[in-house]
């Protein structure tokens, strides 16, 4: 696989952030990388990026249980992840709670709530949402990045399973 093929294959691992795949491409092509090794390489790129680039990465994530899903603005990976947690089946009350929490979270932190939702459900996600709203900015910034790395690992494992 050449550099362009690599970038094309891995550019969606980090939501709307192909720069991660671009920066790791040459190094990753030099090693035989499984999902774990690739996850570590890509996470290292993100962890060593500047704070503005990290913030842009966090902001590239969609709100959970948001109207974006209804109008088809979610990436296929985000849609599948949210569906796996049953977010497409939220009750009206849960949906309204998600909207209120999304708004409160973005107002407090300036970026969307990010959680690796695979294997979770509406109740657990809403509970985590409420708990994390009590964090301070620095803790939540780091938590969002950790969750993004977890999402990336899930996506890498799924991609590896497709080969």
Q: What secondary structure letter does DSSP report for 119?
A: T
> What are the φ/ψ torsions at residue 61 (nearest 5 degrees)?
-85, 145
Closest CA to 120 of 87, 158, 156, 94: 87
Alpha helices in the chain (DSSP H): 3-10, 19-29, 35-47, 51-59, 67-70, 76-84, 92-109, 122-132, 137-161
Element (H, E) at 27: helix 19-29
Angstrom distances, CA of residue 159 to CA of 12, 13, 82: 10, 9, 17
Task: Reply yes or no on whether 88 is catalytic.
Answer: no
Q: What secondary structure letter does DSSP report for 120?
A: -
Catalytic residues: 61
């Amino acid at each position: 696989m050449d550099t362009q093929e690599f970038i094309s294959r891995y550019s969606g691992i980090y939501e709307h952030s192909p720069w991660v795949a671009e920066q790791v491409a040459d190094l990753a092509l030099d090693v035989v990388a499984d999902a774990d090794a690739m996850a570590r390489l890509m996470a290292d790129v993100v962890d060593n990026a500047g704070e503005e680039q990290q913030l842009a990465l966090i902001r590239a994530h969609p709100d959970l249980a948001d109207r974006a899903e209804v109008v088809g603005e979610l990436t296929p990976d985000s849609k599948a992840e949210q569906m796996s947690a049953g977010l497409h089946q939220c009750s009206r009350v849960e949906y309204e709670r998600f909207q209120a929490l999304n708004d409160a979270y973005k107002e407090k932190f300036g970026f969307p709530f990010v959680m690796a939702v695979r294997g979770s459900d509406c109740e657990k996600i809403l509970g985590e949402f409420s708990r994390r709203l009590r964090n301070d900015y620095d803790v939540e910034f780091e938590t969002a990045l950790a969750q993004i790395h977890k999402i990336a690992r899930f996506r890498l494992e799924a991609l590896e399973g497709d080969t």
